[in-house]
Amino acid sequence: MIYILTGDIRTGKTTALLNWTDQRDDVDGWLCPDNEDGKRYFLNVKSKVEFELEIESEVDSTKMVSIGAFNFLRSAFKKANDYLISLTSENKNQYIIVDELGRLELNKEGLHTAAEALIPKFLKDDKHHLILVVRSYLLDDIIEFYNISEYQTLKKEDLSDLLFYT
């Protein structure tokens, strides 16, 4: 089953997921919170390992991808994509989180490689769930781009009400 957590920009979607996963051991994937300087980083849900994603200054263009005023490390996306794809071979987790799918992914950048691999595997899976984070204004574009035919949308308030246990 695919759940799409949606909401406007900076409304606490990632924080809600962080709180929801805090007491769970059946969830893996990546969250993308902001650090104390307001820069995004990847946080592994299972291990709590963090690594840099957003960088302040421009580096060699082959090492970064930019969208708007934001610069991200390609190596961070490669690491995150590789990890997410590795979870599909031996999925021992009930939930995998991909935070987030947006304009980069619509341009086949960012976490696109993982999304392309994960979404078809979870479309008809009733025992394992994929939680995608998507900004509300991009929801229809993401659904169409990845051909997501079966899904349930969630708001951050829905996380505490839903029983994700099977």
Which pLDDT score, from 0 to 100, does residue 54 have? 95
**Residue 163 pLDDT greater than 60, yes or no:** no
Close Cβ partners of 158 (under 8 Å, ≥ 6 residues apart):
none
For residue range 68-123, what is the model confidence (pLDDT) as tens digits?
889 999 999 999 999 999 998 877 888 999 999 999 999 999 999 999 999 999 99
Closest CA to 97 of 107, 87, 106: 87
φ, ψ dihedrals at 63, nearest 5°: -100, -5
Which pLDDT score, from 0 to 100, does residue 57 have? 76
* CA gap 52, 77 in Å, rounded: 10
Closest CA to 81 of 27, 135, 29: 29
* CA gap 55, 41 in Å, rounded: 9
Contact (Cβ atoms closer than 8 angstroms) between residue 27 and residue 97: yes
**Region 139-159 average pLDDT:** 96
- How does DSSP classify residue 30? E
Which pLDDT score, from 0 to 100, does residue 58 have? 66
Higher pLDDT, 12 or 161: 12
* CA gap 51, 43 in Å, rounded: 7
Q: What global pTM score does this model have?
A: 0.94
* CA gap 28, 97 in Å, rounded: 6
For residue range 31-71, what is the model confidence (pLDDT) as tens digits?
999 999 999 999 999 999 999 999 987 678 789 999 988 99
CATH architecture type of domain 2-158 = 3-Layer(aba) Sandwich (3.40)
Which pLDDT score, from 0 to 100, does residue 162 have? 60
* CA gap 110, 27 in Å, rounded: 21
Which pLDDT score, from 0 to 100, does residue 75 have? 97
**Residue 166 pLDDT greater than 60, yes or no:** no
As beta bridge partners, residue 28 has 96
